Amino acid sequence: MTDNRDTTIPDRDTIVTSLKEGVCIVNFTKQSGEERVMQCTLKEDLLPPADKADPLTQKKVRSVTEEVVVVWDIEKQGWRSFRVDSVKTFSAVAI
């Protein structure tokens, strides 16, 4: 049986655009080699308010590098990041 699903990983801009529009599921390999599946977003109304005590909530700090995407983890309720080149699958979730 042939698997006809598109396994192409979107580029960084497409990933960020999708995250800003809603919740997405990202399956990626952590630097430790462990595989992780994360439900995350960058949609403004789902993010916590900016807090001076937490620099990751500041928009300037969130754009760390082009290779890394910093996101709000819906399940862990905290800021997390992943490298674009470590993404195995990426999909938007209807909310």
* pTM for the structure as a whole: 0.79
Query: What's the pLDDT tens digit per position in 35-77?
Result: 999 999 999 999 988 766 665 554 544 455 788 999 999 999 9
Nearest to 19 by CA among 84, 86, 85, 76: 84
CATH number for the segment(s) 12-93: 2.30.30
Average confidence score pLDDT of the chain: 84
Please, which pLDDT band fits residue 2 given cuts at 50, 70 and 90?
very low
Domain ranges of the chain: 12-93
Instruction: Give strand ranges (E) for the chain.
Output: 23-29, 35-41, 68-73, 78-83, 87-93
Output the pLDDT for position 54.
Answer: 60
